[in-house]
Amino acid sequence: MNNKVFKEILTDISALYEISLVNEPTLDIYNTADAFLKTLMSRFGLGFSAVYIKHQYLPNLLTNDGQLSLIYSYPEQVSSTKILNVEEPYFKLITNEDGFYIDNCEAKNFFNMLIGIQKSGSMIIYSLADIGYLILYSLDTDFFNIKVGKKLKKVIDKLARNLSSCLAYARLKLEIEKRKETEQ
């Protein structure tokens, strides 16, 4: 193994290790997403990230209306689309085998609709188990590929489990509050 390949592998391992250490649940969905995604974005030089959760999993909604709500984006001011349809064609392109979809962002595509301005770059959409989707964007049109997608998949899966735990905790907290109100 040559020195360049060894350094690349070591850098990848250290970045993924750092991200996995940050990926500890706080029981607050916003803080969990914030800590994880800001670290991921800084380590890989990404320009945008967003987490959309299906309404049926959000404690204040709990409706299966086929919609997703934006619960986190960074930078916050970039995302103009707060609600998406689960039937969005890009979500349907995610295969169960890989759990992600990669797109070279061209003008007038899904990513440009999300942010409300036209930018070129590359985007990857990860399925967060069954609860929603994570969207990552890089200005580099060649940044995301199958190798990068698979490399990040394990830490993204851990994020999905942590977000699921946060949602379960929020639902439990809401249920306890409702019971207390009923008892009074």
- pLDDT value, residue 52: 94
- pLDDT value, residue 116: 65
Mean pLDDT of the 156-179 span: 90
- Percentage of residues in the chain having pLDDT higher than 70: 78
Please write the tens of the pLDDT for every residue from 109-124. 676 677 666 677 888 9
CB of 122 closer than 8 Å to CB of 116 = no
Name residue 48's beta-bridge partners: 137
- pLDDT value, residue 6: 43
Find the helix or strand (DSSP H, E) in which 150 lies.
helix 146-183
Burial group, residue 16, by CB count within 10 angstroms (0-12, 13-18, 19+): middle
Strand, helix or coil at 105? Answer: strand
Token pair, residue 87, equals 């039937």
Mean pLDDT of the 156-162 span: 90
CATH number of 3-183: 3.30.450.40
- Percentage of residues in the chain having pLDDT higher than 90: 24
- pLDDT value, residue 17: 54
Q: How large is the C-alpha radius of gyration of the chain?
A: 17
> Cα(1)–Cα(89) distance, rounded to whole angstroms?
42
User: Which residue would you say has higher pLDDT here, 24 or 105?
Assistant: 105
Please write the tens of the pLDDT for every residue from 4-56. 544 555 455 555 555 555 556 578 999 999 988 998 898 888 988 999 999 99
